[in-house]
Amino acid sequence: KQEVTQIPAALSVPEGENLVLNCSFTDSAIYNLQWFRQDPGKGLTSLLLIQSSQREQTSGRLNASLDKSSGRSTLYIAASQPGDSATYLCAKIQGAQKLVFGQGTRLTINP
């Protein structure tokens, strides 16, 4: 049973488009939800962290929302650029040391 699900597994869009990545999770008893970026052959870089009491967080062209009641989070990327191509992972923080990851969405931005 997958606790955190990301659909689609891969997404390809033309440069300049706005796009939304989806993350759904079971069990609304989460502390926080975090979005990461992973470039090929590299580790994870934290993008945004939404506390359970918050509805959204913004950083530059990125906006992440959290709806605990429906078990969903979205990552909105505005005016996409080729440099945004990467795998994006969401993870729910369920305890002091429990970080549960989704499988990720591999994003390709075509010039």
Partner 1 sequence: NAGVTQTPKFRVLKTGQSMTLLCAQDMNHEYMYWYRQDPGMGLRLIHYSVGEGTTAKGEVPDGYNVSRLKKQNFLLGLESAAPSQTSVYFCASSYLPLYSNQPQHFGDGTRLSIL
Instruction: Please identify which residue in 64, 93, 107, 109 interacts with partner 1, judged by CB under 8 A.
Output: 93
Using CB under 8 A as the binding rule, whether residue 109 contacts partner 1 is answered as no
Strands (E), the chain: 4-5, 10-14, 19-25, 32-38, 44-51, 56-59, 62-67, 72-77, 86-93, 99-101, 105-110
Give the binding range for partner 1 (CB under 8 A) out of 19-27, 58-66, 71-79, 85-93. Answer: 85-93
Peptide bond into 8 cis (omega under 30): yes
Instruction: Please identify which residue in 24, 25, 33, 34 interacts with partner 1, judged by CB under 8 A.
Output: 34
Instruction: Please identify which residue in 59, 95, 108, 110 interacts with partner 1, judged by CB under 8 A.
Output: 95
Instruction: Please identify which residue in 18, 51, 58, 108 interacts with partner 1, judged by CB under 8 A.
Output: 51
Beta-bridge partner residues of 90:
35
Distance (Å, rounded) from C-alpha 62 to C-alpha 40? 20
Q: Which is nearer to partner 1, 32 or 63 (CB)?
A: 32
Q: Considering just the CA atoms, what is the radius of gyration of the chain in Å?
A: 13
CB-CB neighbours of 37 under 10 Å = 19
Using CB under 8 A as the binding rule, whether residue 104 contacts partner 1 is answered as yes
* Residues in contact with partner 1 by the rule CB under 8 A: 4, 31-32, 34, 41-46, 49, 51, 89, 91, 93, 95-104
